[in-house]
Amino acid sequence: MENQLPIRKIIHVDMDAFYASVEQLDFPELRGKALAVGGNEVRGVVSAASYEARAFGVHSAMSGAMAKRLCRELIFVPPRFDRYREVSLKIREVFYDYTDLVEPLSLDEAYLDVTENKKGNPSATLIASEIRERIFKQTGLRCSAGISINKFVAKIASDFHKPNGQKTVEPDEVIPFLEDLDIRKFYGVGKVTAQKMYQLGVFTGLDLKKKSIEFLTEHFGKSGTLYYNVVRGIHNSPVKPNRVPKTVGAERTFSENLSSEVFMLERLEPLSKELEQRLRKNKVAGKTVTLKIKYSDFSLQTRSKTLDFYISDKSLILDTAKELLYQEKLQNSVRLLGISLGNLNADAPQTLTVPEKSLSVQLKFKF
């Protein structure tokens, strides 16, 4: 055994069809029906789909028109993010009863480090069961959980018995679990990457493990090192309670396509204001402004500019976004515009500022 790595007890909790489940909870007439949150049968994009809708192939990020074609009985409802945040805060209160090491990934999922926990319970598996039951009793919503020695494996495991289930991958099961895993189930491997791996003869974790780090970095760049490590059970990223977002953004899908930059300029100002508010709420500023443009044919284009100083003021964001808008001609009419700020500095004030190997585990460690 080359390295003696710290063994953590990590739980990944993932709410089941969260937005759709909240709608079905609040409106009993929607229960048991195919439901899409966001979009409509003419335009717009689905934000979330109930499990009844998923049975027809409807999923998030799908156009509303396509979703309706797949499921003629589909019901569309507008998202209510204030309500989702309200429920999310109740769920997090349950998490904090067990540990302060909680890393929210979004409103509906989070990592918990329960290696040392407030209940003094040595079993992460039992803690996960208890948390899931408490969430149901206090909110009426179901969730799934994955439990293992690191965030990567816990994240994968939480998807295995959805909905309303959990899976524990014990320390001595991690390597066999990863070796048997279809490469498409590896967290972070999307359709494009999976297809590339197929072309390279990589179909399972075991296939991936047979590839050298030189081979993987040659074909996948920095991600190659990640793939080399995680398939060996090495993922040392701790649960970060105060996780700083990598980007903060705001975007809008329009009821009618925009055909001219003149109309888009009118939309950029409220987006810049909303982005400023989100930056102040997160207490961050950033250097890289990105303009996101989705055309009527659903093709996507991004244009970015990195400044020499941190910004969070809407006027500076707007000025840069305008510059990016006129950077090149539009390819088509536009259905969505978004502005985001990246290259963030968690310590930057909220005004303009000028710059200055192989897995080793203790097999008796019970989950």
What is the DSSP secondary structure assignment for residue 119, as one 8-state letter?
T
Distance CA 258, CA 286 (A): 28
Distance CA 70, CA 72 (A): 7
What tokens does 247 get?
A: 């980007």
18-80 maps to CATH 3.40.1170.60: yes
Distance CA 286, CA 294 (A): 23
Torsion of CA 37, 40, 41, 42, to 10 degrees: -150
What tokens does 146 get?
A: 């994955």
Judged by DSSP in three states, 326 sits in: coil
Single-letter residue type at 5: L
Provide the residue ranges of all domains of the chain, joining segments of one domain with +: 18-80, 173-241, 248-345
173-241 maps to CATH 3.40.50.1820: no
pLDDT tens over the chain, length 367 residues: 344 456 799 999 999 999 999 999 999 999 999 999 998 888 788 999 999 999 999 999 899 999 999 999 999 999 998 999 999 999 999 999 999 999 999 899 999 999 999 999 999 999 999 999 999 999 999 999 999 999 999 999 999 999 999 999 999 999 999 999 999 999 888 888 999 999 999 999 999 999 999 999 999 998 999 999 999 999 989 999 976 678 899 998 888 889 888 888 999 999 999 999 999 888 889 999 999 999 988 888 999 999 999 999 999 999 999 999 998 888 889 999 999 999 888 644 433 333 333 343 344 455 6
Active-site residues, by number, are 109
Strand order in the sheet with 248-258: 248-258, 334-345, 285-295, 300-311
Distance CA 88, CA 135 (A): 10
Distance CA 172, CA 181 (A): 16
Contacts by 82-91 with C-beta closer than 8 Å and gap 24+?
A: 83/22, 83/26, 84/18, 84/19, 84/22, 84/108, 87/22, 87/139, 87/141, 90/138, 90/139, 91/15, 91/135, 91/139, 91/141, 91/143
CA distances in angstroms from 176 to 199, 211, 336, listed in the order given: 24, 17, 44
**Residue 262 confidence (pLDDT):** 86
pTM: 0.74
**Residue 30 confidence (pLDDT):** 97
Q: What is 248-345's CATH topology? A: Dna Ligase; domain 1 (3.30.1490)
**Residue 359 confidence (pLDDT):** 41
Kind and range of the H or E run holding 48 = strand 48-49
E-strand ranges in 119-231 read 143-148, 166-168
DSSP string, 235-297: --PPP-TTPPPS-EEEEEEEEEEE-SHHHHHHHHHHHHHHHHHHHHHHT-EEEEEEEEEEETT
Distance CA 339, CA 356 (A): 26
